[in-house]
Amino acid sequence: MAVSAVSVRQVSKIFARASQRVPALQNVSLDIAPGEFFGLLGPNGAGKTTLISCMAGLCRQDQGQIHILGHDTRTAYRDARRALGVVPQELVFDPFFSVREILQLQSGYFGIRKNDDWIDELLAALDLTDKAASSMRSLSGGMKRRVLVAQALVHRPPVIILDEPTAGVDVALRQGLWQFIRRLNRDGHTIILTTHYLEEAEALCGRVALMRSGQICALERTETLIRQFAKHRLTVRLADGGHPLPAVLMAQAKPLPEAPRTWLWTLDQLSEIESVLASLRESGCKLEDMSITPPDLETAFLSFMNDGAGKGERRD
């Protein structure tokens, strides 16, 4: 079997905070194959950043092993670190360096000299060429984020980890960033991404892991997760002055608080729409408007997290 891009074996990490013990990772295992575009999803505090920090050797797990392309992050730290490019969640920089200086320093950290051709390529790909001489302090948040991406890539790492790279980044820039990351993935790089934007994960990631309270509660191909957990949603607005929704239908539907006379059904099967519409007709309700939303990762995620499956043990 080919060596995994990232292999995480039974990793646990407990933070001690004041007198409390916070189990940030509890027996986490996963394997990511070379060339995958993998999503690490979960609510705030789920342990995503801690897992990434352990992969990058920035944080020591209490138990378990992590290998990056076969290199143990503890016993072969330098080789493991060299195989990785990490775009961190927090923007931390020395404000007085210029963009080019930051990238040259990072190259030096990896022992690479004369890296300017590649640095120029990165700057061009990230639309930063005319900012090369600007000090970090003068850049907007979105531009700083792009410099972080360039910084993660100066040593051409085969495995790239991005921790919430598009948080607070405007739509146009997000699109540009994804185009670039997609290209890296097509060129053979393994990409691991955490994001709050589930439509982004749905569009990009072949597989996703859902994390919650330091555990992986689902690990599936994205389309499998959507098929298993997402529902069709039917939204109906009743006509003003018509019959109100009868009690038996109220039991199936939820009112949308922000819209008057508007009700939402979540349906396991699209075909259930027929019986809802028939019941509405029989009850004398008139429809003013109706829409159907197909299953997506966002609804899969919500129903997975809410219906109890995400609260218990991992499903295999």
Ligand X SMILES: Nc1ncnc2c1ncn2[C@@H]1O[C@H](COP(=O)(O)OP(=O)(O)O)[C@@H](O)[C@H]1O
Question: By the criterion CB under 6 A, which residues form the site for ligand X?
Answer: 15, 17, 22, 24, 42, 44-50
Question: Of 66-74, 83-91, 184-192, 285-293, which part binds Mg ion (CB under 5 A)?
Answer: 83-91
The CB-of-24 to ligand X minimum distance in angstroms stands at 3
Among 7, 49, 107, 166, the residue binding Mg ion under the rule CB under 5 A is: 49
Of 48 and 81, CB closest to Mg ion: 48
Q: Does 185 bind Mg ion (CB under 5 A)?
A: no
Partner in contact with 109, chosen from Mg ion, ligand X, none, beta carbon below 5 to 8 Å by kind? none
Q: Quick check: 11 and 209 in contact, CB under 8 A?
A: no
Q: Under 8 Å CB-to-CB from 15, ≥6 apart: which residues?
A: 21, 22, 24, 50
* Distance linking the first and last C-alpha atoms of the chain: 21
Sequence length of the chain is 316
DSSP designation for 135: B
Partner in contact with 47, chosen from ligand X, Mg ion, none, beta carbon below 5 to 8 Å by kind? ligand X
Of 44 and 269, CB closest to ligand X: 44
Separation between Cα atoms, residue 86 and residue 163, nearest integer Å: 8
Partner in contact with 19, chosen from Mg ion, ligand X, none, beta carbon below 5 to 8 Å by kind? none
Of 210 and 297, CB closest to ligand X: 210
Residue at shortest CB range from Mg ion:
49
Separation between Cα atoms, residue 99 and residue 96, nearest integer Å: 10
Of 19 and 44, CB closest to ligand X: 44
Of 90 and 240, CB closest to ligand X: 90
Determine if residue 203 is left, alpha or beta; phi over 0 gives left, psi from -120 to 50 gives alpha, anything else beta.
alpha
Helices (H) and strands (E) in the chain, counts: 11, 14
Which residues contact Mg ion (rule: CB under 5 A)? 48-49, 89
